[in-house]
Each structure stands twice: as C-alpha cells, then as structure tokens.
Amino acid sequence: MWISGVQLSWVLPQITPQVAEFHADLRVFLHNTFGIADKQVRAIADSIDLRVLLNTASNLLGGVMSIGSGGLFLLLLVIFMGIDANYFPTILAVVKEKRAPVVVALSNLAKLSRSFMIMTTIFGAIVAVLHLILLLALGALGALGALGAIMALLAGGLPTFIAVVAFYGVTNSLIQSLIQPKFVSGSVNLNMTLTFLSAIFWSALLGPLGALMAVPLTLFVRAVLVDAHPQATKGPKTAKPGHG
C-alpha cells in the first residue's frame, strides 16, 4: 500500500494532458458512434472529470496509509503472539491429558488454516503477476500501483480500458472463482459447495472481512462443534444379540 500510494502521488501530476486527450477522444467516439449532437457530447464529456476521481482515490489511499496506530497495534500483537507461541505447546500438553480431542481439533485447525493461507497467497500472486504483465505490455502509467484500469485508460484510451477491465474480469473469475476454490477445498478438507456457501454466509454476517476469512471461520466452527467431539460423529450403538 505504501509503494502504491507513493507511485500514485508521483503519477497524478503527470496525467493532465491525458485527461484532456481523453475528453476529446470521448467526444469524437460518442458523436461518430452514436450520433449524439456535439453540444450533448460536450456536456457528457465535461461531466466526467477523472482528476476529481483520482484525487479522491489519492485521498482515500492517504487515509489508509495514515492509520499507523492500527498497523502498530497489529505488529505488537503479532510479536506478543510469537513470544507466547514458545509456551503454547506446554499448555496444549497439559490440556491434552484431559481434553485430547479438543487439542487434536485445534492442532488440525492450525494446520488447515496454514494450508488455506498458502493457497490463497499463491493464487493471489498469480493473478497479480498476470495483471502486472498486462499493464506493462500496454504501457499503463503506474502499473505497480493502484487503479490500474484508470491508468490504462489514460495511457491507451477507451479500447485499452475495456481490454484491461475484461482481462481483470476473466482472470479473477477463472482463477479466483473457479480454479482456486477447487484447490482450497482440497487442501482444507471442505467440499466446493460448502466453501462457496461459507463465503456467502460469512460475508453477509461480517461484510468484506467475513468474505476474506470465510474458510478459516468455517474451519474454526467445525473444529469446535464437530472435531472436538468425536463421539458426536459416531453412529448410535446397536444392541448385541441376546441383550435387551
């Protein structure tokens, strides 16, 4: 986010000529393609001020980057958790003497959560690299930063913008919506239907954070309610012949 914000602040002052050229191209496109009168075309084009949009995005990025206190809190929390991790195996060993299924369930939860994070990171990196290659090939400004589609619009015009948006949609849908769930469901022992429904449920309950953490939250619920109580998954005992 820091690199993206710095790069965006460096690119913004350089895009004024591209904004003016985009307005001119948009007027010609609307007039020649749809036959809209020049006065109406001018009104439509003038109503689209990309500088306002980019300035707003820059302010949002600045607001995100300015919440250093939250980042510091998260960093300290991770450090403290890392320190406590040295004693955690000892605690689990004590608890395991009386509640072995709970310890086994939590250990399995940790293992599956790590698998989920690894798979998510791998597929996220694949999508990011594909997007970066496309933007570099198109000569988009600030390819390493945010708002790649808008930067492509300023660099190559409307056809480039459409190509980038279409490519983003295809790669995200194909890789992250079809291929990734298949591998993730296999790595965490959840079928694809349950993985899909968990994303819908947790996103409705917790919003974007729920969508991001849907699989780990589902694994946690399964560990607490199912894996920690193996006797609940066993079928009813049948009476032996000769007994009442």
CB-facing half-sphere around the CA of 82: CA atoms within 13 A:
6
What pLDDT was estimated at residue 171? 86
What pLDDT was estimated at residue 244? 44
For residue 201, give every residue at least 6 positions away whose Cβ sits within 8 Å of its Cβ, in sequence order, or none.
Answer: 210, 214
- Give the residue ranges of the chain where pLDDT is below 50: 239, 242-244
What does the DSSP 8-state code read for residue 223? I
Q: State the pTM of this model.
A: 0.62
Q: Are 1 and 61 in contact (CB under 8 A)?
A: yes
What pLDDT was estimated at residue 180? 84
Query: Which two three-digit tokens encode residue 215?
Result: 């699989």
